[in-house]
Structure 1
Amino acid sequence: MTTLRFNKPYQVLSQFTDETGRKALADFIDMPGIYAAGRLDRDSEGLLLLTSDGLLQNRISHPDYKLYKIYWVQVDGQISDQALQKLREGVQLKDGMTLPAQVEEIPPPASLWPRDPPIRERAEIPTSWIQIEICEGRNRQVRRMTAAVGFPTLRLIRYAIGPISLEGLNPGEYAEVEEQPLWEFFPQQKTRRSRGSNKPGPTARDRGSNRGREKRARR
């Protein structure tokens, strides 16, 4: 089985081909039998997981399994403490109340790459960055959440899915990762991956546990 982490660039589809000729995964990854586990909107950037394991693909993408994801979000305006608290408690969207989220204001991420094209900034209005961690998978949820508290999203980057992050990957790059840290998030499936071994798996919340074992591959 093969599982990859991929830093999806802006304006790239989370599918391998597109009939209209828009950029898609096949422009960056040439590997048969591997499929995206979940999706990331075309106008969003960052971490996308792909795997040849159908069961793991279902676990990652299905909302019932509550796999937490971390996003870096640049919003229009200087976000207020009141807006941050509303996001933490949950906000009312058209499809219902969101679950409480872990949210904090952050400085612009040090490892951030320039977006092409860049966002439109207005000289008289500042922007700010937040980090938000959620486990729901509603359509365009983060963008709708920030808009609901009065701070529209300008740029959205998914930084982590469970224990896997995009650290060290430039846009358009991918690397192979071990599956066990992901399976640690699904206790009912642990025996499937540990059969034949009495060694405990890596700690699920240790996001750096897989870095030394990754095999970097570039386009």
Structure 2
Amino acid sequence: MTQYAIVTDLNRCVGCLGCSVACKILNGVPVGSYWNKVLRIGPFPKTEGAKWPDVYTYWLPLQCQHCENPECVKVCPTGASTKREDGTVQVDKEKCIGCQFCAMACPYGVRYLNEAEGVVEKCTLCEQKLSEGELPQCVAQCGARARFFGDLDEGIGSFKGAGKIPQDGDKSYESVMKTFCTLDEVCEPYTDADIHHLTDVGNGPNVAYILRDGMWRGEE
């Protein structure tokens, strides 16, 4: 069974907000709303009682988690919210009545009402780009190569990120966007203990985060 998801290496993320801006531009997200927002977590002392500069901070991109058992789908009275065969959770705007039951049921607050259209919106993992064999916009535009997209059934090491700029040949934007690197090719080594998820309240969040040498506080 396919389960598309995004993995972010928090040790590589620099908090530039490029993913959030790229998402808003491509998907026409209204001012004041976000499909992908970046939170600052910290600063926290590296050891008990420590003070600056012995502190650490990391940036946490927050979006729809495309859950295994999404609560938003369960409470939708019209069937507008569905979990597809590729594992993504999508909203059919033709069926959505804007009741916001799904937004209230989401544990992560990543849905909102588009008041102009009267429908609920959220991250779609850029399904329009996936259908063309491209990466979600937030992954493609990550300058730090911290975000990767793929199928969890194939292991996160195989997840794809934006391509490397070649030493020779075509270095154009269009060419680079058609090449990919994998998470294991780019990222520092990690263990299973370094892989984290947001709080699971029975919904099974699928978006994952890698954090080494730091206390995971994404659940708070």
TM-score, scaled relative to structure 1: 0.31
